[in-house]
């Protein structure tokens, strides 16, 4: 099975094309400055890097260009769009509705939209990528993987803030946690390297990148994390 994995930013579109049988990354790249002047695509196949400078107005145009490169004779890795079996989307905020990755439906899209006030810079970008795929590859199965899903195992005393409870009920004001896809992967990788079942481990993960967070993982489940209500805040105290 060949999977196209997308990570849509406000002005970027990162991607990998993965063969799940061989676990090989067939191609990967990043479209940057979408909707701005001097937009460019970096497309990598193996150790060979290709760079293209293009004027791109939106994510749909960017995805069309990416597909054209994936299927081209000069730097492509598949013969046609029909070779892509499914698409995976990274979505930053799923609220408390999702505890795992899910098949994207109209209902899922609505719930992602409902979380826009909690992630105003991130969820609209993810939706732009999803809508672009619907236009270009109608009928292809798509899956949403949420950064918040991994942290939904936190106990109530960890995710409820010491504020009036009506704020939770009316506005969803609680700790959600982020970078869950990274924390989940790293924890399982640690368990594999140690040769110990993840259910027997207590792990503290540090995710360091353009954003940063710490996560306490017990028996393979998130029990505490440093990020709170929204990815726009660095931690639950807002500092």
pLDDT in tens, 19-59: 999 999 999 999 999 998 889 999 999 999 999 999 899 99
Which pLDDT does position 197 carry in this prediction? 97
Domains of the chain: 1-146 (3.30.420.40), 156-225 (no CATH)
Which pLDDT does position 10 carry in this prediction? 84
Decide if 19 is catalytic. no
Output phi, psi for 116, to 5 deg.
-55, -40
pLDDT digits (tens, 9 = 90+) for 163-217: 999 999 999 999 999 999 999 999 999 999 999 999 999 999 999 987 899 999 9
Length of the chain: 239
Catalytic residue among 55, 85, 147, 200: 147
Output phi, psi for 165, to 5 deg.
-60, -25
DSSP state of 34: T
pLDDT digits (tens, 9 = 90+) for 81-125: 999 999 999 999 999 999 999 999 999 999 999 999 999 989 999
What are the distances in angstroms from CA 47 to CA 18, 26, 40, 65, 204?
A: 16, 11, 19, 21, 34
C-alpha angle 112/93/198, rounded to 5°? 125
What are the distances in angstroms from CA 190 to CA 111, 196, 228?
A: 33, 9, 25
Give the integer Cα–Cα distance in Å for 86 and 92: 20
Which pLDDT does position 55 carry in this prediction? 87
């Amino acid at each position: 099975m060949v999977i196209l994995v997308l990570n849509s930013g406000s002005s970027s579109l990162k991607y990998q094309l993965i063969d799940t049988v061989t676990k090989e990354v067939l191609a990967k790249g990043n479209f940057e400055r979408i909707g701005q002047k001097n937009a460019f695509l970096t497309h990598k196949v193996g150790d060979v890097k290709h760079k293209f400078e293009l004027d791109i107005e939106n994510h749909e145009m960017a995805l069309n260009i990416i597909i054209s490169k994936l299927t081209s004779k000069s730097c492509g890795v598949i013969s046609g769009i029909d070779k892509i079996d499914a698409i995976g989307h990274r979505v930053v905020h799923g609220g408390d509705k999702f505890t795992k990755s899910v098949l994207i439906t109209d209902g899922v899209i609505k719930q992602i939209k409902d979380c826009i006030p909690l992630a105003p810079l991130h969820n609209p970008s993810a939706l732009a990528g999803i809508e672009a795929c619907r236009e270009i590859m109608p009928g292809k199965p798509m899956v949403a993987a949420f950064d918040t899903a991994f942290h939904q195992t936190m106990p109530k005393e960890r995710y409820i803030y010491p504020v009036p409870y009506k704020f939770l009920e009316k506005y969803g004001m609680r700790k959600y946690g982020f970078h869950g896809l990274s924390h989940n992967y790293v924890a399982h990788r640690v368990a594999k390297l140690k040769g110990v079942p993840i259910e027997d481990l207590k792990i503290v993960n540090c995710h360091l990148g353009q954003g940063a967070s710490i996560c306490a993982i017990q028996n393979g489940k998130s029990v505490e994390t440093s990020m709170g209500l929204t990815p726009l805040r660095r931690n639950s105290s807002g500092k």
